[in-house]
Amino acid sequence: MTTVILVVMCVVVGALELYAGKQSKDQARAFVRRIDELNDQVSKQNTVLVTVGEQLTAELSKVKRDVLPALDSRLRQNTGQVEELAALVHQADGYLRVQATRLHDLEKQRVTLAALRRKLAEVETSVRSVTRAGTAAVEGKVDAALDRLSDLERSGTEILELQRTLTRTLEDVEDVVTELLQFTEGELDEAVASSLTGQPRGGEGDAAAVTATGRLWTRDEQLDDILTEVYERCVRTARLNIRFRTMEGPNGSTPGTPERRRYFLAGHNMEDLAGGFTALLISTGADLPHNGNGLSRGRPILPPGVEPPRAPEDEAALKALLRTLHESTGAVAQIGPLMAVRARDELLCAVLTPPQSLELESDEVYWDPAAATVRLRRLPTHQLWDLTAWAATP
């Protein structure tokens, strides 16, 4: 019986050992299979990393080969332009100082000539009081001397006026050079930022890029300064920045001819400006019972002692510009898509689309109120406002 038990136990032990061996082999096979899968994944990831590394190396090589040399050349070119403009500013400043010194000397000469003339007049009076006979030759010499002094005084006045004109011209040149220098510096900063960030220049939201143009011309020289001030205030209230401005006559810088002022503006695109100016013109044209677009709005009746609410700043600035234009015998003002024309008997305003603006610029209509009036009359009614009656109303 004991032998049977021992034999059974041996058989059981053998079966257990066989089972344990089989389990160990299965686990070993599963472990090897898992290691193979991990090796495959590592190989695939290594291949992907190698590909990405090659792409990054190619991009870096392209940047070193194309972008950096171009950036260096542009920086050198713009640096040279800035240095030239700075030299021009210093030279203009030297001219101003020299002209100021000459102006001071001419003022002294004028005072001296006036004193000398008074002294000669006293001498003439005393000579005439002493004797009347035989003084014809002396009087002729004195008269000739007085005439000569008058000529010298007139020449001094003319030279003084020329010096003042030259001083004003140099100041205008200095202002233009300063604006051009600021514009060039802004363009340089924009180019450097664009090259470093890899983004295109003049993107959306770039308040420094030129997005619109402006023009101003009037036939009345007496209203030129006032109209320029009102126009630039209207530009500022429209949240636009004047990046650069130019002035010239119809055939260049010809003295005695009305100046054509051109502005390069930044801050808003044409679509936003068109919507804003359309709303302002609708509000302005609605101040009369009837106008060219058929708009109407009654004025509210307020109790005694109650003042009407003040108009927004941009609306007040636009109305001031339109009323100043109406005081002129002929004028044209443009701010981006807005165009206002004062002809002989009418005041018209229009909000133009970019193709319409380009067409008028190609035909040089912006500087001719009569031709501009004819072209604006062809626009659709929703783009045109006849504000003649509005401007004539106090």
Give the separation between CA 282 and CA 189, rounded to whole angstroms: 40
Residue that wins the pLDDT comparison between 245 and 209: 245
Q: What is the pLDDT of residue 297?
A: 41
Q: What mean pLDDT comes out for the span 81-96?
A: 84
Inform me whether the pLDDT recorded for 73 exceeds 70. yes
The maximal CA–CA distance of the chain, rounded, in angstroms, is: 189
Inform me whether the pLDDT recorded for 309 exceeds 60. no
Range of weakest confidence among 181-185, 349-353, 361-365: 181-185
Inform me whether the pLDDT recorded for 229 exceeds 90. yes
pLDDT digits (tens, 9 = 90+) for 9-26: 888 888 888 888 888 888
pLDDT digits (tens, 9 = 90+) for 354-373: 888 888 888 778 888 999 99
- The pTM of the whole model exceeds 0.85: no
Inform me whether the pLDDT recorded for 126 exceeds 90. no
The separation between the first and the last C-alpha atoms of the chain, rounded to the nearest angstrom, is 137
Please answer whether residues 114 and 153 qualify as being in contact, where contact means their C-beta atoms are separated by less than 8 angstroms.
yes
Give the separation between CA 274 and CA 270, rounded to whole angstroms: 6
Strands 384-386 and 260-266: unpaired
Inform me whether the pLDDT recorded for 37 exceeds 80. yes
Categorize the per-residue pLDDT at 190 as very low, low, confident or very high, splitting at 50, 70 and 90: low
